[in-house]
């Protein structure tokens, strides 16, 4: 029997790359999914990369088929991929709407449906959906109705799926993130954002990885939304 297997979306950089490293360190084989990967991101015995648009159902089918064919099972799915476009609500365009829903909703739907079916066949599994603390803590200085619409939907779907599949051994949880520092953005762009978090700092990728690995190990936890937001959810 081989190692447990995780599919991680948005795996090529930032939080996704951190999750790939974290799960591999925890002994998992990983299938990473992203639009593209850096040249240094090579397949090996316990890692495989699937390049493609998550808004395309074919990408989801390829990722799930690769996990089952190469590693024999799917134990975990981390729906980390997402698009954030923040602007006043009346300034959103139909192109903005299409871009956000393609990844945040359609991508989630396509890959999660296939992964849960595989988990049910196996008799166990775990899905983690990555959301944002802005769903619970709207901020007039950071208007973000479309991210809230889509990522809030993932939180609601997490609870619904957790109950639907609990009797079949599949857990479903969510994490709601505050501002998390990633290499994709200029470090200067995070200046002043500490004030949004009662703990007085922005999040690090390791904070997110640690939280999701906690949920992975917490086998009596399902339907939960874990806020990884420096205390934002508790108040300011």
> Which structural domains are found in the chain, ordered by start?
5-179+205-225 (3.40.50.720)
Q: What digits encode the pLDDT tens for the residues 144-156?
A: 999 999 999 999 9
pLDDT, tens digit (0-9, with 9 covering 90-100), for 39-63: 766 668 899 999 999 999 999 999 9
- 3-state SS assignment for residue 116: helix
Check: CB of residue 154 under 8 Å from CB of residue 129.
yes
The predicted pLDDT at position 43 comes to 67
10 Å CB burial of residue 204 (0-12, 13-18, 19+) is middle
**What's the rounded Cα separation, in Å, for the pair 28 and 15?**
17
Task: Give the three-state DSSP class for 217.
Answer: helix
Residue-wise pLDDT tens digits, 180-236: 999 878 888 888 889 889 999 999 999 999 999 999 999 999 999 999 999 998 887
Tell me the CA distances in angstroms from 200 to 27, 68, 176, one per residue in order: 33, 43, 18
Please report, for residues 114, 127, 147, 156, 231, the alpha-carbon distance to residue 159 in angstroms, rounded to integers and kept in the order given.
Answer: 18, 11, 19, 5, 22
CA distance 81 to 107: 8
């Amino acid at each position: 029997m081989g190692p447990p297997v995780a599919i991680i979306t948005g795996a090529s950089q930032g939080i996704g790359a951190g999750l790939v490293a974290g799960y591999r360190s925890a002994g998992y084989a990983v299938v990473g999914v992203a639009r593209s990967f850096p040249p240094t991101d090579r397949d090996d015995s316990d890692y495989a990369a699937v390049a493609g648009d998550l808004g395309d159902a074919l990408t989801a089918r390829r990722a799930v088929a690769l996990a089952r064919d190469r590693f024999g099972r799917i134990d975990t799915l981390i729906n980390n991929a997402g698009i954030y476009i923040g602007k006043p609500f009346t300034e959103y365009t139909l192109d903005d709407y299409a871009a956000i829903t393609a990844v945040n909703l359609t991508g989630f739907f396509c890959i999660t449906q296939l992964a849960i079916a595989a988990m049910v066949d196996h008799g166990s599994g775990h899905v983690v959906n990555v959301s944002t603390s802005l769903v619970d803590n709207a901020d007039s200085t950071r208007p973000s109705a479309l991210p809230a619409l889509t990522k809030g939907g993932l939180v609601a779907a997490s609870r619904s799926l957790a109950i639907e599949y609990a009797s079949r051994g599949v857990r479903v949880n969510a994490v709601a993130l505050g501002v998390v520092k990633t290499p994709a953005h200029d470090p200067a762009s995070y200046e002043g954002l500490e004030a949004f978090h009662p703990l007085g700092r922005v999040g690090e990728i390791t904070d997110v990885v640690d939280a999701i690995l906690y949920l992975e190990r917490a086998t009596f936890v399902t339907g939960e939304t874990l806020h990884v937001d420096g205390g934002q959810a508790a108040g300011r």
